[in-house]
């Protein structure tokens, strides 16, 4: 958890919604100089803070509508802080709760140097990242449609499909009329098949567009990520756009924590109370490194041997988690140093000797 501690003359807390925003401004002494609720638009926002533009910092919570406010502050050269929604527990406590109270709490946390901040993903690549996340939504819907076909086939105790439905050619060879004799049931399956064809077209078009965009925006980092065995175009896109700049992480441990690849110990009075915080971080990177670990093991004989040894000690699940964390640390150094993947360096001397026995 990181806190914004820079001192300013005025501290501007914003409780932002889609159509309205509650504003609360404090001076250095902690006195309220403005508390109001206005329409959420740029000119109204700039008019409200005009008397306090001298050394002002603006903060809002990381919710769905912060993009325009962050971009406006950057254009106007106003310091902007994005509060981490999961860490800002103070604004959720208290008997009473409304927009003005929340805005005042944000301003006071900001003034006291206690605002936990999140990364403000810059305009430009942010739109590409959101487009890639939309692709993930379509992939999940495609999987749901495919599962519905499989479940319907099982409901009527019909023979299993001989080929995988993920491939369009296999679906076109499927004899729907012979397998599903009822006309309503057959129409149900035909609808799912048409949806799958449409999803394939949309996803393929998105992947082609995103790949071309990545080769223009950051071709070197995109190529370095694909130098890791098992990391193809899609996983490289996830890593590229979810990480953006590796320089924003001060250490490899901080990056692994952001990717949900390490467990955070809870202790009190010298006693261990277990672990927590596993849902704080980037879920997309957690998934990407889990997939990369499995694919890396398929492509690397050394990885298979290493996983077998680790599985004997810790179990298969923990072994894959350790490999994912190891890959995360490797990606951190690859992007920080601008290097390509070297499997000998990845395993180190001790692992190389063990793998050769």
Distance between CA atoms of residues 80 and 65, nearest Å: 15
What is the tens place of the pLDDT at every residue in 25-67? 999 999 999 999 999 999 999 999 999 998 999 999 988 899 9
Three-state secondary structure of 289-324? HHHHHHHHHHHCHHHHHHHHHHHHHHCHHHHHHHHH
User: Any idea what the Cα angle at residue 342 is, between residues 339 and 343, rounded to 5°?
Assistant: 155
Strand partners, 117: 83
User: Using N-to-C axis directions, what is the helix angle for 283-299 and 233-243, rounded to 10°?
Assistant: 150
Alpha-carbon dihedral of residues 26, 31, 32, 33, nearest 10 degrees? Answer: -80
Nearest to 227 by CA among 302, 296, 291, 298: 296
- 62 close to 85: Cβ distance less than 8 angstroms: yes
Question: 90-94, 103-107, 110-114, 272-276: which range is least confident on average?
Answer: 90-94
Distance between CA atoms of residues 329 and 156, nearest Å: 49
pLDDT at 105 exceeding the cut of 60: yes
Nearest to 230 by CA among 285, 287, 289: 289
How far lies 288's CA from each of 136, 239, 260, in Å? 12, 7, 11
Distance between CA atoms of residues 55 and 11, nearest Å: 9
Main-chain phi, psi angles of 132, to 5 degrees: -65, -35
What is the tens place of the pLDDT at every residue in 242-275? 999 999 999 999 999 999 998 877 787 778 777 7
What is the tens place of the pLDDT at every residue in 300-343? 999 999 999 999 998 999 999 999 999 999 999 999 999 999 99
- Average pLDDT of the chain is 89
Strands 264-268, 271-276: pairing kind:
antiparallel
């Amino acid at each position: 958890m990181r806190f914004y501690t820079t001192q300013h003359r005025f501290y501007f807390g914003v409780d932002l919604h889609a159509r309205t925003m509650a504003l609360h401004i404090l001076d250095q002494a902690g006195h309220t100089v403005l508390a109001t609720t206005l329409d959420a638009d740029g000119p109204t926002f700039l008019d409200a803070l005009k008397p306090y533009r001298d050394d002002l910092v603006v903060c809002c919570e990381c919710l769905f509508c912060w993009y325009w406010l962050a971009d406006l502050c950057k254009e106007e050269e106003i310091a902007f802080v994005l509060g981490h929604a999961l860490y800002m527990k103070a604004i959720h406590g208290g008997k009473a709760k409304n927009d003005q109270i929340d805005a005042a709490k944000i301003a006071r946390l900001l003034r006291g140097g206690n605002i936990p901040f999140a990364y403000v993903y810059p305009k430009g690549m942010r739109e590409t990242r959101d487009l890639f996340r939309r692709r993930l939504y379509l992939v999940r819907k495609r999987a749901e449609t495919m599962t519905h076909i499989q479940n319907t086939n099982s409901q009527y105790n019909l023979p299993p499909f001989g080929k995988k439905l993920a491939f369009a050619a296999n679906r076109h060879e499927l004899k729907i009329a012979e397998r599903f004799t009822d006309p309503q049931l057959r129409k149900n399956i035909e609808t799912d098949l048409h949806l799958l064809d449409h999803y394939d077209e949309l996803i393929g078009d998105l992947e082609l567009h995103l790949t071309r965009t990545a080769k223009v925006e950051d071709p070197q980092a995109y190529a370095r990520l694909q130098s890791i065995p098992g990391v193809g175009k899609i996983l490289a896109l996830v890593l590229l756009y979810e990480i953006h700049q590796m320089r924003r992480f001060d250490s490899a441990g901080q990056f692994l924590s952001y990717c949900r690849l390490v467990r955070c110990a809870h202790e009190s009075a010298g006693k261990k109370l277990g672990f927590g915080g596993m849902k704080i971080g980037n879920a997309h990177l957690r998934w990407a490194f889990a997939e990369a670990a499995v694919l890396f093991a398929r492509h690397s004989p050394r990885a298979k041997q290493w996983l077998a040894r680790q599985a004997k000690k810790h179990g298969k699940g923990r072994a894959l988690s350790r490999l994912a964390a190891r890959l995360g640390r490797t990606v951190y150094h690859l992007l920080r140093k601008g290097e390509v993947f070297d499997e000998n360096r990845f395993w180190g001397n001790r692992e190389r000797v063990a793998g050769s026995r």
